Amino acid sequence: MGRTIPTATMLIQQEIDIFLDTYGKRLSARGRQNLYNLLQQCKKHTQACNQAVRRVPFHAILMSIVLEQEKQLGILKDEITILAATDGDVLP
């Protein structure tokens, strides 16, 4: 017998495809690329998404994106701190 319930990974990919096909079509080429990059961030957390079983898979997608954005902000803050310590100039 075949699998009747799609995996979380399959559901996430379906959500990404639907979002890109609907919302993404109305964006500029650069906007579509930015949206694609943003949605791809959630693939880094598919194991966590598999554990966070939800009726709406997009919730797990959003949490994965928020987590990746937070990581990026942390890296940028660290780089600013290092630059400020070595150079003395800090951007406003």
Structural domain count, the chain: 1
Residue 92 lies in a domain: no
Digitized pLDDT (tens) for each residue of the chain, 92 residues in all: 566 777 778 888 888 898 889 988 899 999 999 888 888 888 888 777 777 666 677 777 888 888 889 999 999 999 988 888 886 655 55
User: Rounded CA gap, 15 and 54, in Å?
Assistant: 13
Q: Structural domain of residue 59, as residue ranges?
A: 8-87
Residue 15 lies in a domain: yes
User: Rounded CA gap, 12 and 56, in Å?
Assistant: 10
Q: Which 3-state string (H, E, C) describes 5-18?
A: CCCHHHHHHHHHHH
Residue 48 lies in a domain: yes
Residue 1 lies in a domain: no
CA neighbor of 46 nearest in space, from 12, 4, 81: 12
Contact between residue 23 and residue 39 where contact means Cβ atoms under 8 Å apart: no
What is the model's pTM?
A: 0.64
